[in-house]
Structure 1
């Protein structure tokens, strides 16, 4: 069987590489990809060689990380995953993937894969929120209503039961979605955001202006979590951080993808608007052209669903 992998071989240079599938180890499974996604905020800076956290990139690089598929083969020691099961994994833009059975999340056959694919980033967002642990009556500011920002709102509203969630987002269509997801107020520019008003902040935009708005908006001795990758602007501290004696925490990856899915898959049935995050759908053979188009177009979709079958 042949594996096709989308590889970044240089700045804006993508190509499909073909390799024969190797034999499985005893604790591994082979997955036939059904769908994946382009996470624009993470992948485009890498594609454009503009990621400020990676000034001297090394090539070749694998691409993508969210994958949904069906198990077509299992290793001899695998007991909890069966051929035919649907799973989430982290092997990216490939038609098939080999992964450790312990690293996948089983997905109910009845769950629509658009919602299932969002479990990964929802768990990442949830980890950041859980580091702050806002109470239901706390006021929270989210900067950026991209995919991670919207999933942060979703987690704050439906897992933490937070009543007051305000959002700073320059794009009108994303502000409308933020309202659908449960935002109390939405702001189009930083001047509208009240100062010394919020108990907690979650930065999801990778923008230095948004980060400084967070610092200005927080009450004294409060806390902000940076959920964005920090791959667009370099952040630096200003006088608000020191004068108010604020705290900053970072967050990366999820808290427990399997445990999170127990909540997220059930909640997804009750919140069908989650699928609106996928504003574009393509076939896998359109990936290279899609990256080129996204790179040249500032009006980008929130997230791109990639179909393989």
Structure 2
């Protein structure tokens, strides 16, 4: 079987390439992609060629890590999946792929492609929140209502049931979405202080605000990926003896999915994180537009169905 992959062949240049897939191995699944997603913060720097985590990019390279697919064939030793099952995987912009069974996440019936795809970044956000482990009675300030910030609010409200979640973002549309996902209020310049804070904007001014607004010995987690500005500590960090933690990829995608797929269908506004939809055939052109236009929160990529 042949596979088509979207590859970055040079900075700001993308093309679909054709590859031959080897036979399915014992612990592998052959899958066909139903839908994927563009992760704006992670992928646009890679396409532009200015990703700070990859200062000397080597081409061709591939982007993307969110794929929702159906199983076409299974290896001899596969036990958790059968042909026709739906799953999540991390292979990016490809029409068909080989996936290790251990790295595939089962998706139950009735879950939309949008909600299925959000499980991955929801798990990443959850890891940071779990490092702070807020109590129900705690107060939490979250800066940056991009995808990570919004999913952080969702997890704070629907897993930890935090009583007081305040968000800060200059975009009124994103702030409104945060309120619909569980935030209690938008930040206003008052004397209110917070026991916990999460930084999801990658902006120094937001990082300064969080340090100012935390109580002594408060906890701060950086969930942004640092692709905008360098974050620096202020005197308040030392004077109040704050605790700072970083967070990266998800804590356990399989276990998180069991909770997420039970909870997310009851919060339909989550699907509003996908502000654009594009056909896979138009994906290269979509990236070109994203390099010059205002960027949406997230883009859903739909692949053609094959009978």
Shorter-chain TM-score: which interval? over 0.9
- In the alignment, the residues of structure 1 paired with residue 282 and residue 230 of structure 2 have an alpha-carbon distance, to the nearest angstrom, of 32
- Structure 1 ranges of 4+ moved more than 4 A: 193-196
Match of 2:283 in 1: 287
Match of 2:238 in 1: 242
- After superposition, the Cα gap between the structure-2 partners of 1:29 and 1:195, relative to the gap in structure 1 and judged at 3 Å, is farther
Matches within 5 A, 1:111-190: 111-187=111-187
Match of 1:2 in 2: 2
The alignment of Structure 1 onto Structure 2 pairs a total of residues equal to 304
Deviation at 1:277, TM superposition (A): 0.6
- In the alignment, the residues of structure 1 paired with residue 189 and residue 65 of structure 2 have an alpha-carbon distance, to the nearest angstrom, of 34
Match of 1:54 in 2: 54
Q: Secondary structure at the match of 1:19?
A: strand
1:256 equivalent to 2:252? Answer yes
Matches within 5 A, 1:73-84: 73-84=73-84
CA contact (8 A) 1:52 1:234 kept: no
Deviation at 1:193, TM superposition (A): 4.2
Residues 240-263 of structure 1, C-alpha deviation per residue, up to 9 Å, x if partnerless? Answer: 212211111111111111111111
TM-score by length of 2: 0.96
Q: Extract unaligned runs of 5+ from structure 2.
A: none
The 10-residue stretch of structure 1 (8-17 or 29-38) with the greater mean CA deviation from structure 2: 8-17
1:308 equivalent to 2:265? Answer no
Q: Secondary structure at the match of 1:118?
A: helix
- Superposition RMSD on alpha carbons, in Å? 1.3
Match of 2:37 in 1: 37
Match of 2:109 in 1: 109
CA contact (8 A) 1:125 1:227 kept: yes
CA contact (8 A) 2:46 2:63 kept: no
CA contact (8 A) 1:45 1:232 kept: no
Match of 2:264 in 1: 268
Deviation at 1:9, TM superposition (A): 2.0
- In the alignment, the residues of structure 1 paired with residue 39 and residue 208 of structure 2 have an alpha-carbon distance, to the nearest angstrom, of 25
Deviation at 1:264, TM superposition (A): 0.6
CA contact (8 A) 1:52 1:232 kept: no
Match of 2:20 in 1: 20
Deviation at 1:76, TM superposition (A): 0.9
Q: Secondary structure at the match of 1:43?
A: helix
Q: Extract unaligned runs of 5+ from structure 1.
A: none
- After superposition, the Cα gap between the structure-2 partners of 1:278 and 1:68, relative to the gap in structure 1 and judged at 3 Å, is same
Deviation at 1:195, TM superposition (A): 5.8
- In the alignment, the residues of structure 2 paired with residue 291 and residue 89 of structure 1 have an alpha-carbon distance, to the nearest angstrom, of 21
- After superposition, the Cα gap between the structure-2 partners of 1:82 and 1:198, relative to the gap in structure 1 and judged at 3 Å, is same
TM-score by length of 1: 0.95
